[in-house]
Amino acid sequence: MYPGIHNFSEIGKLNKVLLHRLGAEVEGLTPDNFARLLFDDIPYIEQAQKEHDAFAQLLRDNGVEVIYYVDETAKAIADPEVKKAFLNDILSESDLNSQGIREAIFDYLYAMPEKEMVAKIIAGVRKEDIKEFEAKSLSDLVTDDYPFYMDPMPNLYFTRDPGACIGTGLNLHHMSTPARRREVILLQYMYNYNKDFAPEGSQLWYDYNGPHSIEGGDVLVLNKETVAIGLSQRTTAQGIEYFASNVLKNSTFKRVIVFRIPEKRAFMHLDTVFTMVDYDKFTIHPEIEGPLQLFEVTMGADGQLNYKSVTDELSHLLAKVLNVPAVDLIRCGGTDFMAAQREQWNDGSNTLAIAPGTVVTYNRNYVTNDLLDKKGIKVLAIESAELSRGRGGPRCMSCPVNRDDL
């Protein structure tokens, strides 16, 4: 068991990781709620669970301690008063405008054991689950044909996004879309009340209650001095500033490198187009290289943030901050434009490094995997026919908690 949060790189040997095994929440997806719940396809749950279990087992086989959202949240809310507070926070973020229905849902969920309650919150509360309630307003009596009182959380298997372990601290992100904001409450209670997960002294770099969005897929810890963040469809400049002011003032980190990437679904987060795979090697999607803008944020002697545009080429900038002679940018799909587009859509750039030069990838991205292999990277490819339907890869599906230092 690896105690506490310790994460100062993207590639140090992975010791502990937080996952979520897909459950009944995926069965709450229909074409009618795709846009609302941020999906454009429906994973077949039985096969998706097999693929996810194989992913988790691969990590264990490589010496990684695997922990799960449901288990760790259940530990955090074992105290009855904490359980009540947690449930009220979830309900407050669930767009319930009816007091009578809210009270009925509270009673329904609170009666469950903690682990069952957390799983049901993630799965969503359907209208058919609440057999009766006392109407206390007109809203209680007005009905529609939408099947849920509380939406499911099908995106939670992408555990990278609600938070990020950075150094010896944690970000609790204000997610860009309402569909994902309740996910962070689970992590918030882990941080506050589960001391196996976050021992006393674990810093909080970003507070969920902040008004500006930032998501974990945009956050890459390059080394003890440098964090890279994507300014993207889901992460705002104001969110980056809030994070930078905290982490640069209270840690070993000296700079935040900001990548401005196109705001489109295919490039949703920085890690969908750019990941670190070795001391001096990165995957990159070739379509971002042209429009990419870079900025550097540092902390001045007066305690104020300093900002500057970076005119240096990306490869030169990375080599400088990593203190290596040069870096190799390995293009997703290589020189084949169609392969690059196809494999980036299926997260060919979204690799999870579990040690320097050893990465987990989706097997369907065979062009990129072959390029990585030829560059000396050990590629551990997993089945992904159903997992990939959610538009996220191995890095998206994992929240590293503890890594060895480089």
| Active-site amino acid positions | 396
Whether 403 contacts 64, CB under 8 Å: no
Which conformational region is residue 201 in: left (phi greater than 0), alpha (psi within -120 to 50 degrees), or beta? left
In sequence order, which residues have a C-beta less than 8 Å from that of residue 118 and are 6 or more positions away?
Answer: 69, 70, 73, 74, 77, 186
Distance (Å, rounded) from C-alpha 179 to C-alpha 193?
A: 24
Residue 49 has a CB neighbour count (10 Å cut-off) of: 18
Whether 287 contacts 340, CB under 8 Å: yes
Q: Hey, is 365 helix, strand or coil? A: coil
Distance (Å, rounded) from C-alpha 372 to C-alpha 247?
A: 33
Whether 94 contacts 109, CB under 8 Å: no
Distance (Å, rounded) from C-alpha 151 to C-alpha 126?
A: 8
In sequence order, which residues have a C-beta less than 8 Å from that of residue 358 and are 6 or more positions away?
Answer: 62, 377, 378, 380
122: its two tokens? 């993630």
